[in-house]
Amino acid sequence: METAKRARPRDVYGERRPPPELPSFPPEIIREILLRLPAKSIGRFRCVSKLFRSLSLDPEFAKTHLDLSLRNDAFRSGRRRLIVYYHRDLYTVDFDSIVDACEGIRDLGAVEIPQSPVLSNLVSSYYPKYWVQMVGSCNGLVCTSNGAADVFLFNLTTGESKRIPGFRDFLISRAEEESFFGLGFGFDAITDDYKVVALVTGDVLNACVYSVKTESWKWVGDSRYEYDEIADYGLLENGGIHWVARLREDGRRVVVAFDLTTEQFKDMAFPDGIDDCPHALGGFQLHTLNGRLCMVHVVDKRDDFWVMNEYGVARSWIRIRISMRYRAMNPLCSVRNEEETLMELNGQLVLYNFGNDTSTRLVLKGFHLSWFQARTYIESLISPNSIW
């Protein structure tokens, strides 16, 4: 049976009217609209038109889109995600589901990251005995490494990746092969450059610095410090990569920051009395809590940690106690206010309320491992291959 055709609308005189034309917006209006959409949606729109594709691939557009996301609290919350990983299994969690946990919904929807070309390259480049480790994330780029000294940058949103070349060769050429190194990753806003920093032990504290913009390594040394071997990965905060180290002259622990712009070391004092705490076996790791530097104990089981209220000011360290004892703790992000914080605690995700000192354990649906690690990242269009 022939399908009946819908009659075209007629005017008052009975004449058929042509179908209405879709509105045509100037390119600058389209650009402003796209800037306010999530990065993943913009990526899907690349096939709509040449204009959409050219905008989504433009590095300047990607920077403006990122700046808008970081400046606008509503955009930032909607585009922040959690990456959960164990061995070679990687999952992402939408930040909105974490917010729902504040309302009593304790099951989070974890989505496994498929073995796309970026992850296939990442995993196949590692020897079977090594695990994928997250060095850090910045502006949508995630830095990974493993015990074989392979380093990658990749963008989970766009699927782009970049292998950092020559790290192993550069390291061995300048230091003893058995030298221990700790990695860090961050963004230098002054030079508009992303940098990977490898802290290397030796007679002095050395840093191998890789510039993504110039695709080159350089060597920076400082004889004032000795590296503390507990922590593998440096913490990005306030334009620098931070580790725990010791002063060579007296062996005292300090927080050492490698400034990504000046490429120089500076140090900050430990909290008063922290080394004298009973049962402390000597392990400390650095994290951030609501934009502030914080220090937690590792190895020993603790119920406290330290927060630096004013960056770089030693007297601003304050001690905070919680109602849960831990062997490993990583504050990940605040959820709706500074009282509620998502934390990785003893290999589990916990929503901790600092206002009433209560906690809620969160469950990742479809994720059955009893121990894992987690990092936060923000969705962006920044390409590791288009930085200049």
Residue 56's CB: how many other CB atoms inside 10 A?
Answer: 21
Summarize pLDDT for 53-76 with one digit per residue, the tens.
888 889 999 999 999 888 775 445
333-366 burial string, b = 16+ CB within 10 Å, else e?
A: bebeeeebbbbbbeebbbbbebeeeeeeebebee
The dihedral of CA 291, 38, 78, 89: what is its sign?
negative
DSSP character for 170? H
pTM beyond cutoff 0.85: no
Contact 69, 76 (CB under 8 A): yes
User: Residue 1, exposed/middle/buried by CB under 10 A (0-12, 13-18, 19+)?
Assistant: exposed
In the chain, domain spans:
27-57, 164-253
Which pLDDT score is estimated for 97?
A: 61
Supply 161's token pair: 């990746």
Distances (CA, A) of 363 to 41, 211, 358, 368: 27, 39, 17, 9
59-91 burial string, b = 16+ CB within 10 Å, else e?
A: eebbbebbeebeeeeebebbbbbbbbbbeeebb
| Residue from 293, 168, 167 nearest 239 by CA | 293
Residue 259, strand partner residues: 240
Supply 129's token pair: 């005995």
Per-10-residue mean pLDDT for the chain, 388 residues long?
51 57 72 86 80 86 89 61 73 66 56 54 50 83 77 87 80 61 89 90 77 90 71 85 88 90 92 65 79 83 88 91 84 76 83 85 68 81 84
Torsion angle in degrees (nearest 10) through CA of 65, 67, 73, 77: 60
Distances (CA, A) of 307 to 214, 278, 294, 316: 36, 19, 4, 8
User: Residue 38, exposed/middle/buried by CB under 10 A (0-12, 13-18, 19+)?
Assistant: middle
